C-alpha cells in the first residue's frame, strides 16, 4: 500500500493506479457504482487523509482496471453473465422498440458482472407513455428523477423495474434531446441501438463458440 510521508513524496501516479484497482474490485465484487467505489477505495488506502480530486482516477482508468480484474478473476463466469444481460436487455429493447431504446453502461461496454443492472435510454414524447406501456404488461415500476445531461435543465425521469430477474433502469428523454446529447459530447452519448446490440451479441457468441 502506498502511504503518505512527511516529505510529501507520495507517488501520486501509483496512488491513482492503486485506487483504480481497489475501485474495480469493489465494482466487480460488491456492485458499487463508480463514484461510490472511488470514494471507498480512496478511504481504504488513505484512511481519513484528504486527497485532491485531481489525484483520483477517472472512470476510464477504473473501467480499464475492471476489464483486467474480470479477465484475471472472473474469466470463468463474467463472459456468460455479460451475454445473459445483453440478451435480456435485447428482449426488453424489442418490447420497447416504439420508444427508440438504446443500451448504455457496463452491459454495453462489456464490463458488466454479477451485480450489474441494465441501463437503457428511451426517447418518448412523455415518460407517462412508457409507464403506461409497462403497467399494461403487468410490470411493477418505480420512478425517480435525476439531473439531465450537460446543458439540459429539465430533470430526467428514470423508470426502475425487474424483468427476467434483472433490474432495469430506463432514462426517458424527449426525442429532441437525442441530437443535443451527441452535440454536448456527454458520456450518455455512448450507447447502442437494437441492431448494434444484436451485432455485439453475435460477435460475443462467435468468439465463445
Half-sphere exposure of 85 (CA within 13 A, CB side): 27
For the sheet containing 102-104, what is the strand order? Answer: 102-104, 118-123, 166-173, 156-163, 142-146
92 near 194, Cβ under 8 Å? no
Look up the pTM and report it.
0.85
The arithmetic mean of pLDDT across residues 61-75, rounded, is: 96
pLDDT digits (tens, 9 = 90+) for 82-121: 999 999 999 999 999 999 999 999 999 999 999 999 999 9
Angle, helices 59-73 vs 12-30, to 10°: value is 60
Average pLDDT, the chain: 87
Instruction: Sort strands 166-173 and 118-123 into parallel, antiparallel or unpaired.
Output: parallel
Distance from chain centroid for Cα 57: 17
Name the region of 72 (left: φ>0; alpha: ψ -120 to 50; beta: rest).
alpha
Location of C-alpha cell 452519448: 189
- Where in the chain does DSSP place strands (E)? 102-104, 118-123, 142-146, 156-163, 166-173
Please say if the pLDDT value at position 80 is more than 60: yes
Amino acid at each position: 500500500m502506498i502511504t503518505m510521508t512527511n516529505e510529501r513524496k507520495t507517488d501520486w501516479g501509483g496512488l491513482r493506479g492503486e485506487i483504480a484497482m481497489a475501485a474495480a474490485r469493489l465494482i466487480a465484487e460488491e456492485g458499487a457504482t463508480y463514484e461510490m467505489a472511488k470514494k471507498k477505495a480512496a478511504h481504504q488506502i488513505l484512511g481519513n487523509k484528504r486527497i485532491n480530486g485531481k489525484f483520483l482516477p477517472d472512470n476510464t482508468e477504473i473501467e480499464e482496471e475492471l476489464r483486467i480484474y474480470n479477465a484475471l478473476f472472473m474469466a470463468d463466469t463474467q463472459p456468460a453473465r455479460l451475454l445473459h444481460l445483453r440478451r435480456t436487455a435485447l428482449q426488453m429493447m424489442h418490447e420497447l422498440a416504439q420508444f427508440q431504446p438504446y443500451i448504455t453502461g457496463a452491459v454495453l461496454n462489456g464490463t458488466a458482472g454479477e451485480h450489474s443492472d441494465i441501463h437503457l435510454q428511451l426517447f418518448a414524447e412523455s415518460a407517462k407513455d412508457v409507464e403506461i406501456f409497462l403497467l399494461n404488461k403487468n410490470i411493477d415500476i418505480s420512478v425517480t428523477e435525476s439531473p439531465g445531461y450537460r446543458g439540459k435543465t429539465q430533470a430526467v425521469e428514470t423508470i426502475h423495474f425487474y424483468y427476467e430477474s434483472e433490474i432495469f433502469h430506463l432514462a426517458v428523454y424527449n426525442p429532441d434531446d437525442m441530437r443535443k446529447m451527441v452535440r454536448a459530447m456527454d458520456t450518455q452519448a455512448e450507447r447502442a441501438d437494437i441492431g448494434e446490440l444484436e451485432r455485439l451479441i453475435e460477435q460475443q457468441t462467435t468468439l465463445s463458440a
